[in-house]
């Protein structure tokens, strides 16, 4: 069972790893431009795996910011991963130890959470390990490649690589949205709320990290209220799997 789950995770993680390689390539370039060495950039990617947090972090490093500024910025930007980890812990199969839960939480990203949450029924932590075994090396090796050779590429190509993650995320959310109207509603609702925060004069002053958290709580809360998953339906899916 663990071997099957791990293999499925590896398969589902390929597209994520490829997308991460392209995006972290840009991070590697920016890290070198900010005064970091290639190995410092690689270490950051290997131990953090947080795209927005890492890009914000090297900006603070380049500006000579304090550790308190760094800590607060990372807390705000990455707090959404706590919400994702809480949600994902409820989807893991019963009897999973705290050690496995902590290991799964370490590898939670927007995309890894997306593919994990879209699986039918409960999932094994080995599924996440499979995804992580492709995604983390993709992110880390992309950083290394960008740090070593990014300066050789033209600016337009570097800019194109930076938007690859959006195409990858669309590939994660579109299939489940086509199968489930509730998921489609959540996607549309999240887009609508995010747009409000981007265009409304007062709301557009809210930081990106808090926008993600507020949008997640609001849209997910409404979805849970209006489109609850019946306990009986969940048990039937688990039994079928």
pLDDT in tens, 204-213: 888 766 777 7
Residue 92, strand partner residues? 123
Which of 139, 168, 197 lies at the terminal end of a domain, its last residue? 168
- Domain-embedded: residue 69: yes
- State whether 113 and 223 are in the same domain: no
- State whether 86 and 56 are in the same domain: yes
- State whether 148 and 208 are in the same domain: no
- State whether 70 and 184 are in the same domain: no
Going by pLDDT thresholds of 50, 70 and 90, the confidence category of residue 232 is very low
pTM, two decimal places? 0.68
Nearest to 142 by CA among 39, 47, 17, 52: 17
Q: What is the mean pLDDT of residues 155-167?
A: 64
Q: How far is CA 214 from CA 202, 208, 219, in A?
A: 15, 10, 8
- Domain-embedded: residue 130: yes
Domain range holding 198? 180-240
pLDDT of residue 140: 94
Going by pLDDT thresholds of 50, 70 and 90, the confidence category of residue 132 is very high
Q: How far is CA 72 from CA 52, 68, 159, in A?
A: 14, 6, 28
Number of domains observed in the structure of the chain: 2
- Domain-embedded: residue 142: yes
Q: Which residues in 54-192 belong to E strands, given as ranges?
A: none
- Domain-embedded: residue 173: no
């Amino acid at each position: 069972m663990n071997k099957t789950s791990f293999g499925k995770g590896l398969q589902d993680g390929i597209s994520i790893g490829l997308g991460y390689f392209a995006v972290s390539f840009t991070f590697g370039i920016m890290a070198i431009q900010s005064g970091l060495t290639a190995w410092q950039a690689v270490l950051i990617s290997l131990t953090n795996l947080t795209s927005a947090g890492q890009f914000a972090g090297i900006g603070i490093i380049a500006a000579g910011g304090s550790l308190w500024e760094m800590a607060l910025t990372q807390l705000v930007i990455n707090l959404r991963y706590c919400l994702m980890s809480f949600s994902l812990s409820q989807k893991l199969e019963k009897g999973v130890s705290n050690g496995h839960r902590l290991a799964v939480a370490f590898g939670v990203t927007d995309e890894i959470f997306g593919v994990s949450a879209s699986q039918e029924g409960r999932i094994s932590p080995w599924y996440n390990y499979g995804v992580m075994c492709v995604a983390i090396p993709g992110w880390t090796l992309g950083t290394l490649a960008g740090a070593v050779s990014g300066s050789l590429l033209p600016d337009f190509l570097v800019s194109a690589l930076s938007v690859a993650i959006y195409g990858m995320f669309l590939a994660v959310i579109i299939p489940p949205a086509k199968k489930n109207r509730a998921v489609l509603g959540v996607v549309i609702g999240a887009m609508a709320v995010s747009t409000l925060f981007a265009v409304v004069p007062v709301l557009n002053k809210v930081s990106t990290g808090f926008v993600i958290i507020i949008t997640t709580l609001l849209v997910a809360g409404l979805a849970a209220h209006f489109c609850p998953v019946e306990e009986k339906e969940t048990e039937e899916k688990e039994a079928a799997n």
